[in-house]
Amino acid sequence: MSQIKFIDLFAGIGGIRLGFERAGAKCIWSNEYNKSCAVTYNANFGDNDLVVEDINKIQSSNIPEFNVLCGGFPCQPFSQAGFKKWFSETRGTLFFDIVRIIKEKKPKAFFLENVRGLYAHDEGKTFATIKRIIEEELGYSFHSKIVKASVFGMPQHRPRLFMVGFRDNTIPFE
């Protein structure tokens, strides 16, 4: 099997990239809007493949071909610390850029990360909307789980919601 090639959207300082690369995958394109995060990201990875620009301004056709879309889309609209405004806040609509890119590029899989608050936001309606779009509009499988970093020996209690899906709905995933 050939090496998995992934893109890293809303890359932050590269936490998702680090995990995927340690598993043997290759990051071929990254995007981050926050310039301070971008400085740290480039210091961490040094290959300067990071595009520092608003994802809304990037055409999907300008993104190289990849197998897996990764993204930790902004969590402030769903977090305890944020105002929980979801679609009424610009950052809350960035999920739809993920949808736009998946529609055009049709990767084999996606891996998304967010705060656990997304799961229950607006009495679960926000999460249900995301799940419906991924399954019905995009045709991907959808698996999700809230995971606590402390369970894996990390020195923090930071529950995160992970969402994974495959274009081939017959792929078993647990």
pLDDT band at 78 (very low <50, low <70, confident <90, very high): very low
Active site residue 37: no
pLDDT band at 169 (very low <50, low <70, confident <90, very high): very high
pLDDT score of 41 more than 50: yes
The pTM of the full predicted model, rounded to 2 decimals, is 0.88
Catalytic residue chosen out of the listed positions 27, 37, 70, 75: 75
**Kind plus residue range of the DSSP H or E element containing 50:** strand 50-51
Q: How far is CA 150 from the centre of its chain?
A: 21
Residue of 143, 159, 39, 24 lying closest to 14 (CA atoms): 39
Pairwise CA distance, residues 11 & 123, whole Å: 28
Three-state DSSP state, 165: strand
